[in-house]
């Protein structure tokens, strides 16, 4: 089966600079991105029927953490087939384990990957069986 890019990615991060930078890089990689600065807003869109192929979420955000967001998706059984990827500067093993328990298919540490590498890693995670 050939690799295929996701049709739509929700990128959730409260840092507008990073949000813009990653959104631009994903678009350069041919990926349609919706940049969302508030996980609560992303959750509302999903509850109203938005169905991204991939959700990339930061962990540390002011109103709702990425963990809370992933937990809400899991509890409400929202988008069970959507790939969830954490993109965070939190790289402790317990954070990675917690994200995995909450359904994350991948965990990328911001500080250890330039935006083009993040793009490549996301595509690799999407194309894993």
Note the pLDDT of residue 4: 63
For the chain, give the mean pLDDT. Answer: 92
57 neighbors 75 (Cβ within 8 angstroms): no
SS (H, E, C) 55-103: EEECCCCCCCCHHHHHHHHHHCCCCCCCEEEEEECCCCHHHHHHHHHCC
Closest alpha carbon to 47 in 72, 13, 84, 17: 72
Measure the CA–CA gap between 23 and 38, rounded to whole angstroms: 15
Secondary structure class of 111 (helix, strand, coil): helix
Q: What is the DSSP letter of 110?
A: G
Q: In which band, very low, low, confident or very high, does the pLDDT at 129 lie, cut at 50, 70 and 90?
A: low
Q: In which band, very low, low, confident or very high, does the pLDDT at 29 lie, cut at 50, 70 and 90?
A: confident
pTM for the model stands at 0.93
pLDDT digits (tens, 9 = 90+) for 46-64: 999 999 999 999 999 999 9
For residue 3, pLDDT over 90 is answered with no
Q: What percent of the chain has pLDDT over 90?
A: 84
Average pLDDT over residues 4-13: 86
């Amino acid at each position: 089966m050939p690799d295929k890019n996701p049709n739509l990615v929700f990128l959730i991060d409260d840092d507008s600079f990073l949000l813009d930078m990653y959104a631009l890089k994903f678009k350069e990689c041919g990926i349609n991105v919706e940049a969302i600065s508030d996980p609560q807003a992303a959750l509302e869109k999903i509850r109203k029927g938005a169905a991204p192929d991939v959700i990339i979420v930061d962990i540390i955000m002011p109103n709702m953490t990425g963990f809370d967001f992933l937990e809400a998706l899991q509890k409400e059984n929202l988008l069970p087939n959507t790939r969830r990827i954490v993109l965070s500067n939190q790289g402790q093993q317990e954070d990675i384990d917690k994200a995995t328990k909450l359904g994350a298919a991948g965990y990328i540490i911001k500080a250890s990957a330039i935006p083009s590498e993040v793009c490549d890693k996301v595509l690799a995670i999407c194309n894993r069986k």
